A and B are shown apart, each in its own frame.
Chain A
Amino acid sequence: MDCLHTAQLNIAYVDRLIVEDLNLCVPEGKITALVGANGSGKSTILKAIARIMKPKKGSVFLDGQSIYHQPSKEVAKLLSILPQNPTAPEGLTVGELVSYGRFPYQKGFGNLTQEDKKMIHWAVDVTGMLSFYDRPIDQLSGGQRQRAWIAMALAQGTNILCLDEPTTFLDMAHQLEVLKLLKKLNKEEHRTIIMVVHDLNHASKFAHNIVAIKEGRIVSEGDPQTVLTKGVLKKVFGIEADIISDPRTGVPLCLPYELVQEHDPVNIDSRMSYI
């Protein structure tokens, strides 16, 4: 079942159309990974889904209702987003940051209710941040920091969690730590997760559903076996790759070995122009 889909979504930076007529379906209770080259529009799509960017045309539907026709605070109770590499004010503690996730539910001076406190405690606990509760964010390691931000998004109490490259700037152990946490949230708490990831093998190992995007259009979507093929990789990333089966889990893994010559794989110029 789809809990979220986009209809004829057109997104533009000023006058440059990045995404054209996108119809994307996100299955409920699954992990969906958006993959694509730099500048392919995958982050832009995620931002539009989380209404951080207003589309030029079309809409995003959550349980059949357009998110642009609902109060932003109500949408914030259904869907949360963790942007790429966010920064917290100096000295802000983990506990304070996570409590900010309750903003959509608060009124007036913002005293925390019992329900708020329960959610904050759960979010801090499930991300393994209890022992860091009183520590300033700026004194944490990259992986802990990312977990603190995920805890804030969780405190929002939404069914859908959007994450923009949650593993960038992290070393391999911390990448795995964050991805395993997401998997756990999906499995035990039945959260629907939509994430932009760069590492295809991470997408393959952790996502149920992969959407490969090129120039704002969907090239291929489906389970890892469907999407991670030689043809799709060639088209989306401009690489030649071998696809092997993971000896441990059997999911496809890709081993790139050559650039496709006539293709400009990393279209840096197009990205620079709208930064």
Chain B
Amino acid sequence: MNSLSHLEKKKKIRYMVTICIFLCLIFTTFLLSMDAGLIHLSPIDVLKVLVNHGTSQQELILFDFRLPRIVISLLVGSGLAVSGAILQGITRNSLADPGILGINVGAGLVVVLFISFFSSMQVVPVFALPFAALMGAVLTATLIYILTYKKGQGLSPMRMILIGIAVASGIEAALIVLTIHLDPRQLQFVTIWLAGSIWGTNWNFVLTLLPWILILMPLAFSKARVLNILNLYEDVSKGLGMAIEKERLILLGIAVGLAGSCVAVGGNMGFVGLIGPHLARKLVGPKHQFLLPASALSGSLLLIVADTLARLIVQPSEIPTGILVSIIGAPYFLYLLAKSKA
């Protein structure tokens, strides 16, 4: 009995260390990220601004441009990664993520529709965009759910992924057709959105996103135990007395809410939802009490690193963060595939 609790303790310590390392890395990148950009601020400048001794230009850059953007990267990264972890858990497939299931492009489609609808006006009401994106995500998820659901058999995870991929490519095609009708300025915005650029760089967007994260994230963590069981063989979950269909639907809802609200502010950010959980699983294992928090942090770290680099690499312009995540993520993912036994 003692030896077992010793093993459990060792595991917990390992988890705590992983979490601490993540937090340290995030904090370091956070500090670096405040310096990085077209107008370079030295760490001393940043410190000065923080204690209210900077120039008004430095204050403007830090408080009105950089900080909200950094905060949004952190939130979007954690939201997408946790969404991915949930989807991978309920589908029992480690390739599932909001992108593959078409939730991202679904949000994109509604965004494009929204923009083309308002194209007669000079100014697009940008603050309504997050809600449009969220609506798109929910509609897509509902469509996939309806198509996957088979009476008597319920929701087959494999079917859900295949239908998700099919729906995603359909929506992508529709998107391309729609963008033809946009004027150049709108087209540019849509292109940037689809490439995954953190465009909502002010505090209002933080406030739009924050409630979703604050509500859905704890809800997801409270379902860790259920996710553990759903991640097992289906007949085993039933044998343990789990109401599979109900719990799956609730968790799907949480995942879609997280992904939809994040994509709304962060654009079509692929790969974070796939790689965040993968990285976390390598470090803390598949138990969701550990996996979900670790995923949230790895997603945050991934995105804040990508966003900082995106601002640095091709100055004075910048690369969409989503593209950078893919550039970092793709080789890592190939490495994972090459390393896995199966």
Which residues of A does B touch, CB under 8 Å? Answer: 14, 47, 50-52, 71-77, 80-83, 86-93, 95-96, 100-101, 103-104, 106, 108-110, 117-118, 120-121, 124, 130, 133-134, 152-153, 156
Contact = CB atoms under 8 A, between A and B. Distances in A.
B157 interface: no
Given A51-B238, A91-B281, A83 B233 contact: yes
Contact of B242 (A93, A103, A133): A103
B27 to A, nearest CB: 27
B240 A76 contact: yes
Of B1, B3, B94, B235, the most chain A CB neighbours within 10 A belong to B235
B285 A100 contact: no
Contacts, number: 100
A88 B3 CA distance: 24
Interface in B261-302: 281, 285-287, 289
Given A103-B225, A103-B229, A71 B241 contact: yes
A106 B5 CA distance: 19
Contact of B232 (A89, A93, A156): A89
B281 A80 contact: no
Interface string B54-93: 0000000000000000000000000000000000000010
Nearest to A74: B241
26 contacts: A51-B238, A71-B241, A72-B238, A72-B242, A77-B241, A81-B239, A82-B239, A83-B233, A83-B235, A86-B232, A87-B233, A90-B94, A90-B281, A90-B286, A91-B281, A92-B286, A95-B8, A96-B228, A100-B232, A100-B240, A103-B228, A110-B228, A117-B4, A121-B1, A130-B4, A134-B11
A183 B231 CA distance: 30
Nearest to B290: A96
A198 to B, nearest CB: 19
Nearest to B241: A76
Interface residues of B, number: 32
A93 B15 CA distance: 15
Contacts of B286: 89-92, 96
B5 A117 contact: yes
B89 to A, nearest CB: 8
Contacts of A51: 238
Of B92, B94, B239, the most chain A CB neighbours within 10 A belong to B239
B243 interface: yes
A96 B285 contact: yes
A148 B3 CA distance: 18
Contact of A109 (B241, B285, B289): B289
Given A77-B241, A156-B240, 9 more contacts: A72-B243, A74-B241, A82-B236, A90-B281, A104-B241, A108-B222, A117-B5, A120-B4, A130-B4
A225 to B, nearest CB: 33
Nearest to B10: A134
A50 B236 CA distance: 10
A72 B236 CA distance: 13
A50 to B, nearest CB: 6
A133 B4 contact: yes
A101 to B, nearest CB: 7
Contact of A76 (B7, B231, B239): B239
Given A76-B241, A100-B228, A121 B4 contact: yes
A91 B285 contact: yes
Given A76-B241, A92-B285, A134-B7, A86 B225 contact: no
Contacts of B34: none
Contacts of A100: 228-229, 232, 240
A96 to B, nearest CB: 5
B152 interface: yes
Contacts of B229: 100, 103
A35 to B, nearest CB: 21
Given A73-B241, A100-B240, A109-B224, A95 B7 contact: yes
A87 B157 CA distance: 15
Interface string B1-45: 101110110010000000000000000000000000000000000
A272 to B, nearest CB: 18
What are the 7 closest A-B residue pairs judged by CB atoms, nearest first?
A76-B241, A110-B225, A73-B241, A83-B235, A86-B233, A81-B239, A72-B241
B322 to A, nearest CB: 28
A133 B7 contact: yes
Contacts of B225: 103, 106, 109-110
B219 to A, nearest CB: 12
A79 B281 CA distance: 32
Nearest to B1: A121
